[in-house]
């Protein structure tokens, strides 16, 4: 009898904590902009760490990526950042992009300003290539 009371109290005390934890993960699953941005940064740093890669701004929404003899583009189209690679197809780097601006600081540094999210929740990110 005492054992069953202990088990019942233990279960009843754990239920609110489990519900709080579930709400946290539910919120994170609906708002995955930060996770997508982290993967985008990883892909971009992988591109820029190559010694044979250089970046050049074509226009406000397009960056040309020179890799040895290949030319690829990072373009802002239809609320997405797309990596267009000739011969291999297009890869979506980042979804839910509200605004994308690429400005040249000097001949080797490009400042990129992003606004990602939706109408209710959005984040402004700024990084340098």
Instruction: Tell me what the mean pLDDT of segment 92-112 comes to.
Output: 83
Strand partners for 85: 72, 89
Residue 80 to residue 19: CA distance in whole angstroms: 34
Task: Reply yes or no on whether the pLDDT at 121 is more than 80.
Answer: no
Encode pLDDT of 27-75 as tens digits: 776 667 777 888 888 888 888 887 788 888 888 888 888 888 888 888 8
- At residue 87, does pLDDT exceed 80? no
Mean pLDDT over 116-128 rounds to: 81
Mean local confidence (pLDDT), 112-116: 85
Neighbours of 70 (CB within 10 A): 13
Q: What is the pLDDT of residue 26?
A: 73
Q: Are 56 and 48 in contact (CB under 8 A)?
A: no
Domain residue extents for the chain: 1-30, 32-128
The confidence score (pLDDT) of residue 112 equals 84
Cα-Cα-Cα-Cα dihedral sign, residues 64, 68, 69, 70: negative
Contact 40, 94 (CB under 8 A): yes
Sign of the dihedral through C-alpha 96, 100, 106, 108: positive
Confidence label for 83 from pLDDT (cuts 50, 70 and 90): confident
Strands (DSSP E) contained in the chain are 53-59, 62-67, 70-77, 80-85, 89-94, 97-104, 110-117, 122-128
31, 119 Cβ separation under 8 angstroms: no
Half-sphere CA count of 14, side-chain side, radius 13 A: 6
Tell me what pLDDT residue 64 has.
Answer: 85
């Amino acid at each position: 009898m005492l054992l069953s009371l202990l088990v019942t109290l233990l279960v009843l005390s754990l239920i609110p904590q489990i519900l709080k934890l579930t709400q946290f993960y539910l919120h994170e699953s609906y708002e995955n902009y930060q996770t997508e941005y982290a993967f985008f940064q990883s892909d971009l740093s992988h591109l820029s760490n190559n010694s044979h890669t250089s970046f050049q701004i074509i226009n406000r929404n397009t960056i040309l990526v020179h890799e040895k003899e290949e030319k690829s583009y990072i373009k802002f189209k239809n609320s997405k950042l797309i990596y267009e690679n000739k011969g291999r197809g297009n890869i979506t780097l980042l979804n839910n992009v509200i605004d994308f601006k690429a400005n040249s600081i000097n001949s080797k540094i490009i400042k990129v300003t992003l606004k990602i999210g939706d109408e209710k929740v959005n984040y402004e990110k700024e990084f340098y290539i």
